[in-house]
Chains A and B, each alone.
Chain A
C-alpha cells in the first residue's frame, strides 16, 4: 500500500498509463508496419514488396498522380485561403470571430456528408464528376484548415511591427512583402501541412467524387489491405509514411504551436 501510494503521489508517474497506451497503440503499430513491409506472407524477410511497387507502373503512376493532386489542392487552398485570412485579421475582433466560426462550421459536419453534398451540387449543376470535382471537393473540405492557422499567426502578430515599418517609410505593399508575409510564414507552413497530409492520403473522397474512375494512392493501399495483401499494403503505407515523415521533419518546429492552437478550435 505504501509503495503504491508513493508511486501515485509522484505526479510525474501519472503519465505512465498513457505512456503504456502510446507504446501499444502508436509506437508498436508503426513498428509493425515497418516489420510487415519487409516480410512476405510467410513472415520471411524480403524486399519484394518494394521491388513490386517500383515494377508496377500503374501503382507508381498513381503515386505520382496523388502527390500532384495533393500539391495542386494545397496550392489552390493557399491562394484562396491567404487573402481570406488576411482580410479577417484586419477585421474588428467581434466580426472576425463570427466569420471564422462560419468558416469552421462546415468542418464540424461529417466529411463524407460534406463530400456527398459536393457530389449533389455537381449533379444539381449538371457538371460531370471527375478530376475537377475531385479538386473542388478537396479544396472545399480542407480550405478551413489552411485559413485558420494563417489567420491565427496574422492575428497574433504584434501590430507595432507594422507601425514600425510604416514609421520607417515602408509603403503598404512593402509592409506586406517585407514584414507581414515573412512573419506569417509559420502559419502558412502549418496550413500547407494540414492540407497536404490528408489530401495525399485520402481515398474515400476520390471514390465518391469521381465515381471510382480516378484512383489515388490511398485507394491502392486500402484495396491491398482489404484483399489481405497486408505486407504489400504495409510497404505502400511505409512509403507514404516516409514521404510524410520527411515533410514533417522540415516543418516540425514551426508547426508545433499552430497544431496545438488548431486543436483547440
Chain B
C-alpha cells in the first residue's frame, strides 16, 4: 500500500515537472505584462490582440505553418501509402534495403537532415522557400507514413487484392474498394503524425527556409527569442495550441475506446 502511494506520488511529481512550464504559460497568458512573471491583473488582452491579427508576424507564421503542414502531410501520406504497398509486395532483400534507407531520416538528428538538404538545394541551385521547406518536411514525414501503413498491410489477408482482381476488378478498383478500407486507419494516423511532426519541426525548416522571409511558428519564436523578448501573444497562442491538442487527444482516445468496446461486444454477441 505504501509502495502504491509512493509510486503514484512519483508519477505525479514527474507529471508536475512536465506540466509546470505549461501551466505557468497558461496562467500568465491572462495578464498583459510584457515581461514574463509579472502579474498585472487578470485580462484577456493578449488573446484579443492575438485574434485581432495586429501581430502580423505571428499571424503569418501560423498561416505558413499550417499550409506547409497540410501540404507536407498530404504529399507524405500519398507517397508513403503507395510506397508501403510497393514495399509490402517486394522480395525480402529489396525490402530490407528500402527499410534501411527509410529509417535514415528517422534516425538522423534534425540538424543533419537540415544541413544535408540545405547543401542539396545549394548544390542544385534551387531558391529556397515554401517548396524546399515542404519537400524537406515530406522527407522526414514519409518514413512514418510507411511505418503506419505497413502493419495494416501485414494484418491484411494477402489474398483479398487478388480476390478482387479475380472477381473482375481492375487494379485501381481493387485498390480503392478493397485495400484502401483496410489501410485507411494507418493512413489517417500517418497523416496526423506527419502533420504534428511538420508543425513541431524547427531545425529542418530553419536550414531550408531560405532568405525570402519565410517563417513558421518555430522559426519565428526562435527569431523573437534571439532578439531578446518574446511577444506576449505567444503565451496565448501556446495555451490555445495546448488546449486544442488536449481536446484532439481526448476525442481520439474516446473514439478508440468506443471502437474497441464495440468490437468486444460484437465478439461477445457471436
Contacts and interface: CB of A to CB of B under 8 A. Distances in A.
B171 A16 contact: no
Interface in B208-253: 217-218, 221-222, 225-226, 230, 234, 237-238, 241-242, 245-246, 249, 253
A132 interface: no
B115 A116 contact: no
Interface string B87-120: 1111100100010011111111111110111111
B147 interface: yes
A3 interface: no
A244 B107 contact: yes
Contact of A114 (B7, B17, B21, B171): B21
B28 interface: yes
B36 A124 contact: yes
A44 interface: no
Nearest to B161: A11
Contact of A198 (B109, B148, B151): B109
Given A26-B139, A109-B242, A11 B86 contact: yes
Given A8-B171, A12-B89, A99-B11, A33 B115 contact: yes
Nearest to A121: B21
Contacts, number: 242
Given A108-B249, A197-B109, A248-B107, A116 B139 contact: no
B178 interface: no
Contact of A18 (B20, B83, B144, B222): B83
Contact of A116 (B11, B189, B221): B221
A230 interface: yes
Contacts of A110: 199-200, 202, 217-218, 221, 238, 241
B147 A260 contact: yes
Given A27-B101, A201-B110, A259-B106, A15 B218 contact: no
A203 B144 CA distance: 24
Interface in B48-104: 79-80, 82-83, 85-91, 94, 98, 101-104
Interface string A106-117: 101111111011
A13 interface: yes
Contact of A30 (B83, B104, B238): B104
Contacts of B82: 14-15, 17-18
A124 B31 CA distance: 14
Contact residues of A: prevailing secondary structure: helix
A205 B86 CA distance: 39
Interface in B146-184: 146-148, 151, 161, 171
B83 A15 contact: yes
A26 B101 contact: yes
A230 B238 contact: no
A264 interface: yes
Contacts of A114: 21-22
Contacts of A237: 111-112, 115-116
A120 B138 CA distance: 33
Contacts of A263: 106, 143-144, 147-148, 193
Given A29-B117, A244-B112, A120 B107 contact: no
Given A109-B241, A121-B21, A14 B116 contact: no
B234 A113 contact: yes
Interface in A81-114: 83-84, 87-88, 90, 97, 99, 101-103, 105-106, 108-114
9 contacts: A10-B89, A12-B89, A15-B98, A24-B120, A109-B22, A121-B21, A202-B111, A241-B108, A244-B107
Interface of A: 8-19, 21-22, 24-30, 32-33, 36, 80, 83-84, 87-88, 90, 97, 99, 101-103, 105-106, 108-114, 116-121, 123-124, 140, 143-144, 197-198, 200-204, 207-208, 212, 218, 221-222, 225, 230, 233-234, 237, 240-241, 244, 248, 256, 259-260, 263-265
